[in-house]
Amino acid sequence: MNNNNHLSSSSLTIRLRNLRKWMIALFILVIFIWSMLGLDYQGFQSTSKVVSLSILKGFMHPDWAYVYLPEGEDLLRELLETLVISILGTFVSAILCIPFAFWAAANMSRLRLFPGMGKFTLSVIRVFPEMIVAILFIKAVGPGSFAGVLALGVHSIGMLAKLFSETIEGIDPGPQEALIACGATRLQTIRFAVIPQVIPQFLSYSLYRFEINIRSATTLGLVGAGGIGTPLIFALQVRNWNRVGVILLGIVLLVVVTDFISSRLRRRII
Amino acid sequence: MIELRQVSKTFPNGTVGLKDINLNIQTGEFVVIVGLSGAGKSTLLRSINRLSDVTSGDIQIDGQSITSASGSKLRSIRRNIGMIFQSFNLIKRTTVLNNVLSGRVGYHSTLRTLFGSFPKRDVEIALTALERVNIREKAYIRADQLSGGQQQRVSIARALAQEATIILADEPVASLDPLTTRQVMDDLQRINRELNITTIVNLHFIDLARDYATRIIGLRAGEVVFDGSVHEATDEKLAEIYGRPVKADELLDSSRDMQGVGVV
Amino acid sequence: MKSDTNLADSTPIPSISPSSNYLITNGLGNTKRSKRIATWMLFIVIIVVCSIYIDVTPYQLFVGLPEMGVLLKEMFPPDWSYLPTIWAPMLQTIKIAVAGTILGAIPAIPAALFSANNITPNKWLSLPIRTLLNLVRTVPDLLFAAIFVAVFGIGPFAGMLALLFFSFGIIAKLTYESLEAIDPGPLEAMTAVGANRIQIIVFGVIPQALPAFISYLLYTFEINIRAATVLGFVGAGGIGLLLNQSLGLFRYDRAATIIILTLAVVLIIDYTSTSIRRKLL
C-alpha cells in the first residue's frame, strides 16, 4: 500500500514536470508567432531573384582590380586600417580597464561596497551596444577611424575589465603578504606581488578581445567609424556586387588570419 | 630586542587568539615556539610584524612600538623584520633574483621601484644573500622551477636581502621532506649565528625545536605555558604544553642518524 | 639596535669566486632580460606606428573630449514626449531578435549533430559543415544585414535574416562543442540494447544536451537584442532607424530617449536571460 502510494506521488511529479515543459514550449511558440507577425514579410520581391543572381555572379567574379590601387583607397589599405583600428582599440581598452579591474576586484580593498560599485559600473558599460557607442563617438569627434578606436576602446572595457578583475581575484595572496612583511607600500605590493601573477592572463584576454574587436572593426565603417565597412556600404548602395564579393573575401581572410595568429600567441603566453 | 607587553588578541568571531602575553626576546636569540595547532603560534608571530593586529597590549621592536606605528613608520619597522612562510609566498612566475630583490623595496621610493629597476648594489646584496643559502647559481631561473626546499631558501634569501635584524619563520618546514627540512633549519641556524639575526620560528616538530633552539616558548590556548632553555624543555614539560604525552608524528625522526645526512 | 649588517660587504663565502660567478650568471640573465625588453619595444613601436598611420593621437583625444561633453549636454534632458512614438519600433526590435534567434536555432540542431565527431563519425560530413560554421561566424551580423537589405529591400525581414544566419553560426558551434563533451555511457548502453541512430540521438543525446542548447540560445538572444537595436542603421528595421534619424536631425534629446529605452530593454532582457541560464546549468 505504502509502496503504491509512493509510486503514484512520483508519477504525479513527473506529470507536473511534463506539464511545465509543455507550458514552456507553448510559451516559446506563442512568443515566436508573435514575433513573426510583426516582420511584415512581403514575400520575395520581383527583383529579389535578379538581385540574388547578380550577387552570386558578383561573388564568383570578385573585383580583383580593387585589391590594390596605386592611388590608395583600395582593399589592402582599408583592411590594414581596420586591423590598425582594432589593434589601437584593444590597446586603449587594455590600458583603460586596469584601474577598473582593480576597482572591481573583491580582494583589492577591505570594504565590500567599493568593488561592488566597480562591478556595477562594468555591467552598465556592458549593456551599451557597441554600435551605439560608435555612433555617439562619431557624433562627438566626427566620422573616421578615431571614432572607431574610441568606440572599441570604451566598449571593450566592460568585458575586459570584468575578466581582468576575475583574474586578480584568483591570484595567490601569499606573495602580497610577503611584500607587506618586507615593508612595501601598497603600490609596491601591487607592482611586485600582483602584476607578475596577472600579466600573462591579462595579455591573453587582451588578445582574445582583439579577435572580437577585429570582427567589430569590419562593421564600424558601416556607420562611419572608419575601416573596410565604409567602402563596403558604398559598394552595397551602388550594387557593385563584384566589389562586395572581393571585400567580403578580404574580411573573411583578415578575420581567419588574425584569429590564427592571435590564438597561437595566446597559447604561447599561458 | 623584541618586547611584548600584555598582548591579547580576540578574533572578530570571539575566539581568543592570544591572552596576556609578556615576552622579552634578546638580540641573537634563536627562539622556537611550540604548541598544538590553534594554540596561537601563528597569531603571535604575525602580530610581531603586525600582519595581524592585536586587540590590546604593546609590542616594541628595538624600542619602537609597532602596534602604534602606521604609514612609513610601520613600513620602516617591517623592513627590519624578515618573514618566512610555510608556503614560501614567492612570486612564482618571475626569477629567483627578482624575488630576492623584492625584499629591497622597503629601501626605495615607490616611484623608483615601480619600473622594477634596482641599483647595482641591491643586486649585489641579493646575490650575496643567495650565496649564503647556496643557491646563487639559480638566480636567473624562474622560481616555480625550483624544488620546495630551494624555494624556501629563496625566501630566506629574500629576508636576508632585506638586511633584517629579526627573522620570523612561520612553520618554515611544514611543507618540506625531512632531508630538506634539516637543510633549511641549518641555513636558519647558520644565519642566526653568523649575522647575529634574532630568529623566531614556529615549529610543529619537538625534536627539531630541541636541536636548533636556544630558547623554547610553549603556547597553549593563546597563553605562554613554558619559556625556558632547551635543557629545561624536558618531555614532562612538553607533555604539559600539549596537555598529553608527545606523539610520534610530532617528532621529525625518532632516530638521530638522519641528522648526519641533513648537514651537507 | 639598528643593524649595520651589510651583506654586500660582509664576508662572502670564500670557496666561490664571486666576481667571475657574477659575470656568468648576470650574462645569462641579461640575454633573457634584453629579449623581453626587445619584445616590449617592438610592441610600443607597433602601437606608435599604428597611431601615426591612422592619425589617432593623444592630442586628438585632448581635442575630442570637450566635444564629448558638448554632445552629452545636448542630450540632457531627454525628450520624454518622444517615448510613445518609439514604443512600436522598440517592440519590432525585440521581435526581430526573437524570430532571428529561434529561426537560426532550428537549423543549428542538425548542423550541430552533423559536426559532432562522437555522433557523426563521418569526417566527410562533419568537416564541410564545420568549415561552413566557421565561415559564417567570421561575417559580423551587421554585414549580413547590409547584404540582405540589398536583396530583400529595406525592412525588418532583412534584419531578421541577418540575425538568423548569425545565430545559426554561434549556436551550432557552441552546441556541437558541448555535444562532444556529453557522457558516452548512456549512448553505449543504448547501442547495446539495439537502438538505431535516430533513437540514440532522441533518447540518449538530446536529453543530455538540451539544457546547454537552451542556454546558448538565450546567450545568443542577448547578443542579438544588442545587434537588433542598430540594424536600422543599414535599413534592416527596428529602433536603429529612428535613432539614425534623430541623430541626423540633431535631435540629441530624442536620441537620448531612444538610447535610454534601449538600455532599459537590454538590461531587463540580460537580467532575465542570465538568471534563467544560471538555473539551467
Residue B138 has pLDDT above 80, yes or no: yes
The model's pLDDT over C44-74, given as tens digits with 9 standing for 90+, comes to 999 999 888 888 887 877 887 788 888 888 8
The model's pLDDT over B151-209, given as tens digits with 9 standing for 90+, comes to 999 999 999 999 999 999 999 998 888 888 999 999 999 999 999 999 999 998 888 88
Cβ–Cβ gap A218/C140 under 8 Å:
yes
Of residues B78, B88, B93, nearest to A181 (C-beta) = B78
Cβ–Cβ gap B105/A192 under 8 Å:
yes
**Measured between beta carbons, which residues in chain B are less than 8 angstroms from residue A191?**
113-114, 116
Sheet of B64-65, strand order:
B16-25, B2-10, B56-61, B64-65
Asked if residues A241 and A66 have their Cβ atoms less than 8 Å apart, the reply is: no
> Which position has the grid cell 535578379?
A50
d(CA A183, CA B251): 35
Of residues B80, B131, B196, nearest to C16 (C-beta) = B131
d(CA C161, CA C152): 10
Burial class (CB in 10 A: 0-12, 13-18, 19+), C147: buried
Asked if residues B162 and B82 have their Cβ atoms less than 8 Å apart, the reply is: yes
pLDDT band at C140 (very low <50, low <70, confident <90, very high): confident
The model's pLDDT over A155-174, given as tens digits with 9 standing for 90+, comes to 999 999 999 999 999 999 99
d(CA C239, CA C87): 9
What's CA A175's distance to the chain center, in Å? 34
What share of chain C has pLDDT > 70, as a percent? 89
Q: Calculate helix-pair angle for C83-115, C240-248, nearest 10 degrees.
A: 130
Residue C14 has pLDDT above 60, yes or no: no
Asked if residues A177 and A117 have their Cβ atoms less than 8 Å apart, the reply is: no
The model's pLDDT over C199-234, given as tens digits with 9 standing for 90+, comes to 888 888 888 888 889 899 999 999 999 999 989 888
Query: What is the predicted pLDDT for the residue at C24?
Result: 39
Query: What is the predicted pLDDT for the residue at B253?
Result: 65
Query: What is the predicted pLDDT for the residue at C3?
Result: 43
pLDDT band at A142 (very low <50, low <70, confident <90, very high): confident
Residues C214/C216/C218/C220 CA torsion (nearest 10 deg): -150
Query: What is the predicted pLDDT for the residue at B262?
Result: 38
Provide the residue ranges of all domains of chain B, joining segments of one domain with +: 1-80+166-264, 94-164
Helices (H), chain C: 18-53, 58-75, 83-115, 123-138, 141-152, 156-180, 184-192, 197-200, 206-230, 240-248, 252-280
Burial class (CB in 10 A: 0-12, 13-18, 19+), A110: exposed
Asked if residues B128 and C7 have their Cβ atoms less than 8 Å apart, the reply is: yes
Residue A240 has pLDDT above 80, yes or no: yes
Query: What is the predicted pLDDT for the residue at C30?
Result: 63
Of residues C46, C139, C233, nearest to A252 (C-beta) = C139
Q: Calculate helix-pair angle for C58-75, A145-169, nearest 10 degrees.
A: 90
Cβ–Cβ gap B195/C10 under 8 Å:
yes
Residues 46-105 of A with CB under 8 A from C: 47-48, 51-52, 55, 80-81, 84-85, 87-88, 91
Cβ–Cβ pairs < 8 A, chains B and C:
59
Span C79-280: which CATH code?
1.10.3720.10
Chain A interface includes B110 (CB < 8 A): yes
Query: What is the predicted pLDDT for the residue at B112?
Result: 83
> Which position has the grid cell 561566424?
C137
Of residues C2, C3, C29, nearest to B139 (C-beta) = C29
Average pLDDT over residues C163-167: 94
Q: How close B103 comes to chain A (CA, Å)? A: 6
What share of chain A has pLDDT > 90, as a percent? 40
CATH superfamily name and code, B1-80+166-264: P-loop containing nucleotide triphosphate hydrolases (3.40.50.300)
What the block records as the C-alpha cell of C103 is: 529561426
Mean pLDDT of chain C: 83
Mean pLDDT of chain B: 87
d(CA C106, CA C78): 40
Mapped to the 3 state alphabet, what secondary structure does chain B carry?
A: CEEEEEEEEECCCCCEEEEEEEEEECCCCEEEEECCCCCCHHHHHHHHCCCCCCCEEEEEECCEECCCCCHHHHHHHHHCEEEECCCCCCCCCCEHHHHHHHHHHHHCCHHHHHCCCCCHHHHHHHHHHHHHCCCHHHCCCEHHHCCHHHHHHHHHHHHHHCCCCEEEEECCCCCCCHHHHHHHHHHHHHHHHHHCCEEEEECCCHHHHHHHCCEEEEEECCEEEEEECCCCCCHHHHHHHHCCCCCHHHCCCCCCHHHHHHCC
What share of chain B has pLDDT > 90, as a percent? 52
Asked if residues C266 and C276 have their Cβ atoms less than 8 Å apart, the reply is: no
pLDDT band at A43 (very low <50, low <70, confident <90, very high): low
d(CA C109, CA C126): 13
Q: How close A82 comes to chain B (CA, Å)? A: 33
d(CA B208, CA B201): 11
Whole-model pTM? 0.82
Residues 210-249 of A with CB under 8 A from C: 215-216, 218-219, 222-223, 226, 229, 232-233, 236, 239, 244, 248
What the block records as the C-alpha cell of B246 is: 608527545
- Measured between CA atoms, the residue of chain B closest to residue A174 is B89
Residue A210 has pLDDT above 90, yes or no: yes
Residue C32 has pLDDT above 80, yes or no: no
- For residue A247, the one-letter residue type is I
How many CB atoms are closer than 10 A to CB A168? 23
The model's pLDDT over B125-136, given as tens digits with 9 standing for 90+, comes to 999 999 999 999
Burial class (CB in 10 A: 0-12, 13-18, 19+), B101: buried
Average pLDDT over residues A64-79: 84
Lowest mean pLDDT among A37-41, B43-47, C165-169, C183-187: A37-41
Of residues C64, C92, C151, nearest to A141 (C-beta) = C64
Residue C27 has pLDDT above 50, yes or no: no
Query: What is the predicted pLDDT for the residue at A151?
Result: 92
Average pLDDT over residues C256-269: 91
Helices (H) and strands (E) in chain C, counts: 11, 0
What the block records as the C-alpha cell of B198 is: 634574532
Q: How close A182 comes to chain C (CA, Å)? A: 16
Average pLDDT over residues A20-24: 79
pLDDT band at A179 (very low <50, low <70, confident <90, very high): very high
Query: What is the predicted pLDDT for the residue at A46?
Result: 64
d(CA A80, CA A83): 5
Average pLDDT over residues A50-54: 79
Query: What is the predicted pLDDT for the residue at A122?
Result: 92
Percentage helix, strand, coil for chain B under 3-state DSSP, each rounded to 5? 40, 25, 35
Query: What is the predicted pLDDT for the residue at A23?
Result: 82
d(CA A145, CA A229): 11
What share of chain C has pLDDT > 90, as a percent? 27
B228 phi, psi to nearest 5 deg: -170, -175
Lowest mean pLDDT among A28-32, A45-49, B9-13, B99-103: A45-49
- Among B83, B250, B255, CA closest to B169: B83
Q: Testing the interface with B: which of C2, C3, C33 to mutate, by most B Cβ within 10 A? A: C3
Please tell me the total number of residues recorded for chain C in this structure: 281
Lowest mean pLDDT among A6-15, A177-186, A192-201, C112-121: A6-15
Query: What is the predicted pLDDT for the residue at A4?
Result: 52
pLDDT band at A126 (very low <50, low <70, confident <90, very high): confident
d(CA A93, CA C216): 27
Residue A257 has pLDDT above 90, yes or no: yes
- Among A196, A201, A111, CA closest to A162: A201
**Measured between beta carbons, which residues in chain B are less than 8 angstroms from residue C29?**
95, 97, 139-140
What the block records as the C-alpha cell of C25 is: 650568471
Residue A104 has pLDDT above 90, yes or no: yes
